């Protein structure tokens, strides 16, 4: 696997992993709430796939955190989205990545980059995400008050994974525990505030909305909506997968990405 590389910007360093195995545009993979680059281990390690970059957003993995200050008259979550968008833009500029593949909160960050940043993009892959990402109040309370219980609930059958096995759960739980309660809660609160349904027509690049067919957290209907409302968007599902198809069914997921980019 590739070594960790870093890019400095805005007074902090953002870490990423990069591989140049295949042909085609370089894809920047953006993880979801509480995750890090390791959720994309089967993508940036795919020797048949396009060149890949897997970023750690601020406060995740090997990246520095950022002090997010909530400004008056700025919608909740916008400051965090802006910081994470800056991480992605800096990484793409350092690696010449021109396609964003964002999972869950990473999909929100990718849409935010497409809407709010002047970054030349050739495509967007929106994975198990949505134009609006409401989070149940009970989960937010549990993340704040009993982080271990929240992590366990997210890994129950049918949540992150359709059919979780010990290795999948251990890999995913390790990422959340490394990120920790404070940043993970911030992420889920950012998801809860995210809503760009009225701006999807502004997205000018070709897009792919893809999800696990058994995803209960961001169900297929979210992706059908993206396909209907974005100006140029395909819709695909990954069979026998829930919210984390890139880990649960990596071969099928990778083939879906390749077929979109070819």
Q: Which domains, and CATH codes, for the chain?
A: 4-261 (3.40.50.1820)
3-state secondary structure of 103: strand
Helix and strand counts by DSSP (H, E) for the chain: 10, 8
Integer Cα distance of 133 and 195 in angstroms: 7
pTM: 0.96
The residue ranges of the chain whose pLDDT is under 50 are 70-74
Strand bridging mode 99-103 / 233-238: unpaired
State the pLDDT at residue 74: 46
Integer Cα distance of 103 and 30 in angstroms: 6
Give 61-118 pLDDT, tens digit per residue: 999 999 876 444 445 578 999 999 999 999 999 999 999 999 999 999 999 999 999 9
Q: Which two tokens stand for residue 149?
A: 């219980």
State the pLDDT at residue 72: 41
- CA torsion through residues 27, 30, 36, 40, sign: negative
* H or E element at residue 185: helix 181-193
User: Contact 111/133 with Cβ under 8 angstroms?
Assistant: no
Q: Which two tokens stand for residue 233?
A: 């968007």
């Amino acid at each position: 696997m590739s070594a960790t590389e870093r890019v400095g910007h805005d007074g902090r360093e953002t870490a990423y992993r990069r591989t140049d195995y295949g042909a085609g545009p370089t894809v920047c993979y953006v993880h979801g709430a509480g995750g890090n680059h390791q959720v994309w281990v089967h993508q940036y390690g795919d020797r048949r796939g396009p060149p890949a970059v897997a970023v750690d957003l601020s406060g995740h993995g090997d990246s520095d955190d950022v002090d997010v200050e909530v400004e008056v008259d700025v919608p909740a979550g916008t400051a965090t989205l802006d910081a994470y968008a800056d991480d992605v833009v800096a990484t793409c500029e350092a690696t010449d990545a021109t396609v964003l593949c964002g999972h869950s909160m990473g999909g929100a960050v990718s849409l935010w980059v497409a809407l709010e940043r002047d970054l030349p993009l050739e495509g967007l892959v929106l994975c198990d995400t949505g134009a609006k990402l409401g989070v149940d109040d009970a989960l937010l309370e549990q993340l704040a008050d009993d982080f271990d219980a929240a992590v366990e609930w997210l890994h129950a059958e049918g949540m992150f994974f359709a059919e979780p096995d010990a290795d999948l759960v251990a890999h995913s739980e390790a990422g959340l525990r490394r990120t920790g309660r404070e940043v993970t809660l911030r992420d889920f609160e950012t998801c809860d505030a995210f809503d760009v349904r009225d701006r999807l027509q502004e997205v000018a690049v070709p897009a792919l909305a893809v999800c696990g067919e058994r995803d209960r957290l961001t169900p297929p209907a979210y992706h059908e909506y993206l396909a209907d409302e974005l100006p140029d968007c395909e819709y695909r599902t990954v069979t026998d997968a829930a919210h984390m198809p890139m880990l649960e069914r990596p071969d099928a997921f990778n083939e879906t990405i390749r077929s979109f980019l070819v």
